[in-house]
Structure 1
Amino acid sequence: MLTDAQWAELEPLVEICRPRGKTPHKDLRRTISAILWRHRNRTSWRAVPPELGPWGQAAQTFIR
């Protein structure tokens, strides 16, 4: 999970590149944490722990 300090640095960068007009993401911090977890562990999307949210949501956000 991202620390408060890490998220404070990352959030403005994510907001800059996020497409406008889209419905705001419900828990973007958790989803970004899931994406980072998956890449750190070099595993499949389905292996993302449930506490990081639905694996499909993280995969879809990463693809976009």
Structure 2
Amino acid sequence: MQSDAQWAFLGPLVEACRPKAKTPPLDLRRTLSAILWRHQNGAKWRAIPQVLGPWWRAAQIFIR
């Protein structure tokens, strides 16, 4: 997961470029951590650890 300092930098950038939906994504910080974990490890989406949330949510947000 990102540190608080990293998220303080990334959070506003992500928020500025994400589409404004009716319902904001749940726990965007955790989902972004899952996406970064997957790419750092070269793993498949389903290999994302449970502590980073559902794999399908990270995949869906990444695709969007």
- Category of TM-score, reference length = shorter chain: over 0.9
Residue 21 of structure 1 and its aligned partner are, at CA, apart by 3.3
Per-residue CA deviations over 1:8-61 (Å, capped at 9, x if unaligned) read 000000011011233111100000000000000001000000000000000000
Q: Which position in structure 2 is the counterpart of 1:34?
A: 34
What stretches of structure 1 move > 6 A for 4+ residues in a row? none
Alignment of 1:1-64 (within 5 A): 1-64=1-64
Q: TM-score, normalization: structure 2?
A: 0.95
CA spacing shift, 1:24–1:37, aligned 2, 3 Å: same
**How much identity, in percent, do the aligned residues show?**
69
Any idea what SS the aligned residue of 1:43 has?
coil
Residue type of the alignment partner of 2:61: T
2:5 & 2:26 partners in 1: Cα distance?
20
1:46 & 1:10 partners in 2: Cα distance?
25
Residue type of the alignment partner of 2:8: A
1:31 & 1:37 partners in 2: Cα distance?
10
